[in-house]
Amino acid sequence: MTSHLNGAEAMVRMLQCHGVRHIFGLCGDTTLPFYDAMARLDHNITHVLTRDERSAAYMADGYSRVTGRVGVAEGPSGGGATYILPGLIEATESSYAVLGITTDISVGSYGKYPLTEVNQEALMQPLTKWNTVIKQAAHIPRMVRAAFRAMTTTRAGAAHLGLPYDIQYDPVDRADIWGDPKHQSYPAYPQAPEPGAAEAAIEAILSAKHPLIICGGGVVISGAMEELSRLAIRLDIPVATSISGQGSLAETHPNCLGVVGSNGGTDQTWEMMQNADLVVFMGCRAGSTTTSRWEAPSPGTRIIHFDNDPMVIGANYQTEVGVVGDLRLALLQVNAVLDARDQGAETFGGAAAIAGIKKRKFAVFQKYAASSQAPIRPERVIDALMKILPADATVVSDPGTSCPYFSAYYQLPQAGRHFITNRAHGALGYSLSAALGAWFGRPSSKVVALMGDGSFGFTVGELETVCRCRAPITFIVFSNSNFGWIKASQNAEQDARYYNVDFNQTDHAAIAAAYGVKSWRVEDPNDLERVMRLAVGHDGPTLIDIVTQPLEQSNAPVRRWMG
Ligand SMILES: Cc1ncc(C[n+]2csc(CCOP(=O)(O)OP(=O)(O)O)c2C)c(N)n1
């Protein structure tokens, strides 16, 4: 064995050192040495060929969300680099670890007008937590380590590595091929809050009359669900979530209020937002959707904020106590303080209040879910999913109709990351690909992707990838022949002056069948449950094209259409 590898081989070995088992991506000229190294070397990495780099990055994102590990996407120079961008910004802003590797033109041809030249580092800069274009092969191991450190420590996010063509042939010292196993998953090296912060938070919470915890994605990301449940039960405090925060508690937990805010929140859950005299944000950025553009908590409400990113504290609300650190470690401290004081059973009456709110909320839901109206009401689809999906199913949604309906009404029976949606940028066309990534990360779970027909059009090409991978995912298309969310916005905010939001009805089942997906088209609500059982039970990919009620005519759980 020689003491040197070439740059491409070093990249493969460095990914292997960091526990990478799957790479999603698409070939190109500048990637030839990297693919050749993948082909020649003995490694346990599966490369999944995708049909679009956008999808590759979303697959890596879905994979990262369900595994807590780094998802890897790759593409070539030029178009590959520009197409991979949406997945990187989504991961960065949603705090998930995704590595985008784009090969690049040779360092030796910079500035000579070669095909596909673009300053990749500048391109990726605002979209990633960490980013570089590697200029020398000898730097590859160090730069890969830096990318993994950045992605997995403190707030997770995306990183980008540019890998020029020529340096993939240059030598790299074998002795420099190593990685810290801690950086294979996130949060790596979690940090506890400063002394006294947990006590201060408890003092404030116990002095309130109607406190409300609002969880964002950070609780599940840090694995703080059990500690949160202990705290919620002990103080009998109500816990709401953002859409990304679903799974902080099981939706069926007595202290779980459900989703609040403009998307997926209902009038009933909003009552608790308005009545809270103290709000505890946990791993939540208190952004526009969760607060319905900062309508509640209203100014003057006392705010306690737990987050591992100090920049989040005080960004939107004057904050009485900030607790900066990993959520799980912070909640361990909070519970330890309560244990030491033997203080608990401090009853805020959360569970009883939530039971009343949910009763009223689901009375409305059940009325519509039972409706045999056609086109089919979205409530009916969610109700059928609740009856049929197994407890450990993983559901991925695009931003259209399915997101607010699922978020508001689906009663996730388990804590953890079982619902995934791209809430940071909400780009259409996410769920089909993210679902495939989620399936690779959690192959034993039934994976279901929900999307509008607009989203389907963005991403349909990946049905070939799904079939090639034999992934038994069920795709559900809410077919309303328009960009429904925007049409509903025009209805609400422009006095129904509809402009260029409608498109032709498409037979999505026929398209899916052409790819080899077993598919059904459902127009009669009475067929829905039967077809859904067949689709979910089938051992290959399935798609149900459901002709659904237009969003602008529905009773959607949307407080404000404008995000
Ligand atoms: C890439 C991208 N372009 C535009 C938008 C703006 N947008 C938000 S929702 C929406 C309509 C979604 O339509 P569809 O997928 O058919 O779902 P529906 O709302 O009809 O259920 C659009 C165009 C977006 N989110 N992403």
Cβ neighbours for 537, distance < 8 A, ≥ 6 positions apart? none
* 317 pocket-lining for ligand 1 (C-beta < 6 Å): no
**Does ligand 1 come within 6 angstroms of the Cβ of 501?**
no
Looking from the CA of residue 458, the nearest atom of ligand 1 is 1
pTM (predicted TM-score): 0.98
Distance CA(152)–CA(170), nearest Å, equals 29
What one-character DSSP code corresponds to residue 496? Answer: T
411 contact partners, CB below 8 Å, separation of at least 6: 251, 252, 386
Cβ–ligand 1 contact at 453 (below 6 Å) = yes
Which residue's CA is the closest to the ligand 1 atom numbered 25?
Answer: 427
User: Using CA positions, which residue lies closest to atom 24 of ligand 1?
Assistant: 427
Q: Is the CB of 454 under 6 A from ligand 1?
A: yes
> Is residue 235 a contact partner of residue 203, using CB atoms and an 8 Å limit?
no
397 Cβ below 6 A of ligand 1: no
How far is residue 267's CA from residue 522's CA, in Å, rounded to a whole number? Answer: 31
Query: Are 15 and 23 within 8 A, CB to CB?
Result: yes
Three state DSSP letters for 216-278? CCHHHHHCCHHHHHHHHHHHCCCEEECCCCCCCCCCCCCCEEEECCCECCCHHHHHHHHHCCE
Tens place of pLDDT for every residue, the chain, 563 residues? 788 999 999 999 999 999 999 999 999 999 999 999 999 999 999 999 999 999 999 999 999 999 999 999 999 999 999 999 999 999 999 999 999 999 999 999 999 999 999 999 999 999 999 999 999 999 999 999 999 999 999 999 999 999 999 999 999 999 999 999 999 999 999 999 999 999 999 999 999 999 999 999 999 999 999 999 999 999 999 999 999 999 999 999 999 999 999 999 999 999 999 999 999 999 999 999 999 999 999 989 999 999 999 999 999 999 999 999 999 999 999 999 999 987 656 689 999 999 999 999 999 999 999 999 999 999 999 999 999 999 999 999 999 999 999 999 999 999 999 999 999 999 999 999 999 999 999 999 999 999 999 999 999 999 999 999 999 999 999 999 999 999 999 999 999 999 999 999 999 999 999 999 999 999 999 999 999 999 999 999 999 999 999 999 999 999 999 87
Report the separation in Å between the CA atom of 400 and the middle of ligand 1, taken as the mean of its atom positions. 6
Report d(CA 21, CA 14) in Å as an integer.
12
- Asked if 277 and 209 touch (Cβ cutoff 8 Å), the reply is yes
Pocket test for ligand 1, best of 377, 425, 479, 485 (most atoms within 8 A of CB): 485
> Among the atoms of ligand 1, which is closest to the Cα of residue 453?
16
Mutate to test the pocket of ligand 1, among 379, 403, 428 (most ligand atoms within 8 A of CB): 428
CA-closest residue to ligand 1 atom 20 = 484
Distance 406 CA to ligand 1 centre (A): 16
Q: How many helices (H) and strands (E) does the chain have?
A: 21, 20
3-state DSSP assignment of residue 414 = coil
